[in-house]
Amino acid sequence: MNNETCSFMLALVIIASVIVGSAGKRKLSEAEIQRLLKQRNKFPVKSTKGSEGRIIDCVHVMDQPSMDHPLLKNQTIQMRPSGLPKFCSKKEDAFGKSEAMWNQLWRMNGECPKNTIPITRTTREDLLREASLKKKKLPPLNRSYVVDENRDKHEYAIMGTQGELVGGKARMGVWNPRVEAGANEFSLAQLWLISDPVVTTTVEAGWQVYPGLYGDTKTHLFTFWTDDAYGSTGCYNLGCPGFVHTDHRVTIGGVLPLTSVYDGTQFYLELAISMDPVSKHWWLYMAGEPLGYWHRDVVTGLDQGAQYFDLGGEIDNENPNQHTSTEMGSGHFPDEGLGKAASFFDIAVVDSSDNVRDDLGSFKPTITHGNCYTLYASTFPEGTGFYYGGPGRHDECP
């Protein structure tokens, strides 16, 4: 390994300790802040101001942060996948309004040109918040109902399946759950593709409310990856070299334009993650359109495919004395049903033989605190799925 690569890898470890987080608050020096701002904020082709008050930089695709990775330098970006996976075939959005997710509000003030990508400009305040965040965690892989009263941990209501997998997809309702005050409290809904219980490389995408990361209580589109079980590699969104963004219309980490209304209009985020059969990169799709990919040389544990596909809700319970009031999903229990409880549906996985499974027969639930958040399977107009979520702290979840 040459000196340039060694220096860069050291910088990546420093960046990862900030982006992924540490057990306690980490004080950043002025030199670290300036280095991180330079690493994140690339010279833009143009800039525009989002309606959320953040500056959006339109950066040429070759100048994005991921191309700083020593394994990706001087490589040609794959602008389109080799072909759409089977489960991304275009079809009418009969059940929910997922196409609306393309209309992020910053686009009202100006579009980014083709061959650029929109990136939210990082500020000092962003870096200082991120320095206090904890590491992300792997969901339980035992695929069974679990009731665990331990405090200060991540809690899940998810469905998962195992096999030799090369892709997975679903539609998920988009909500804006209440998150209790605290740097590490968050609520999210996402897809995970996981390599195995030992190496534990993951690629992940979904929506989240995470004040400690974004500085607001809005619902954001997000991606995540790690190549060493959330150790020293990986980050959210474009916070470190890893995810190669290719679409000029959507900001990774940006605010989603619409969220569902309890007993009212419902909005859905349709996401898919699939290994390209030629390049072996892991592509992310939204409503059937490619957004970008995790490069095969970055997520090395997934070079032969994934062993697990999970989907569902996750929260962080930081309160040591009583259960958090952070909501999961809509903040209502699954038995309230359509229009009131959060849901996943139109679910499918693809195995290494290119067979599509679009039922929940092989999926098993994992629920870490059933009195606070739970799930149950149901039938939707577009196939089987499940409702999930809950309000957090209440009389039976003290």
Domain that holds residue 117: 3-80+99-389
Look up 185 and say whether it is catalytic: no
Q: Domain for residue 299, yes or no?
A: yes
Count of other CB atoms within 10 angstroms of residue 91: 9
Can you say how many angstroms the Cα of residue 28 is from the centroid of all Cα atoms in its chain?
Answer: 26
Count of other CB atoms within 10 angstroms of residue 265: 12
pLDDT digits (tens, 9 = 90+) for 133-149: 887 888 887 655 555 54
Rounded to an integer, what distance in angstroms lies between the CA atom of residue 108 and that of residue 176? 22
Q: Domain for residue 86, yes or no?
A: no
pLDDT digits (tens, 9 = 90+) for 6-62: 434 434 444 444 444 433 456 889 999 999 999 899 999 999 988 678 999 999 999
Rounded to an integer, what distance in angstroms lies between the CA atom of residue 83 and that of residue 118? 24
Q: Domain for residue 344, yes or no?
A: yes
Q: Domain for residue 7, yes or no?
A: yes
| Residues 355, 205, 346: CA angle, nearest 5 degrees | 45
> Could you tell me the pLDDT band of residue 97, with boundaries at 50, 70 and 90?
low
State whether residue 61 is helix, strand or coil. Answer: helix
User: What pLDDT is stored for residue 255 in this prediction?
Assistant: 95
The pLDDT > 70 percentage for the chain reads 88
Q: Domain for residue 251, yes or no?
A: yes
Q: Domain for residue 94, yes or no?
A: no
pLDDT at 317 over 60: yes
Q: Out of 204, 270, 318, 327, pick the active-site residue.
A: 204
> Could you tell me the pLDDT band of residue 75, with boundaries at 50, 70 and 90?
confident
Look up 314 and say whether it is catalytic: yes
Average pLDDT, integer, range 334-342: 96
User: What pLDDT is stored for residue 15 in this prediction?
Assistant: 44
Q: Specify whether the CB–CB gap between 339 and 187 falls below 8 A.
A: no
Q: Out of 155, 185, 314, 318, pick the active-site residue.
A: 314
The CATH code of the domain that includes 214 is 2.60.120.200
Q: Domain for residue 362, yes or no?
A: yes
User: What pLDDT is stored for residue 50 in this prediction?
Assistant: 81
User: What pLDDT is stored for residue 23 in this prediction?
Assistant: 37
Q: Domain for residue 396, yes or no?
A: no
The domain total for the chain is 1
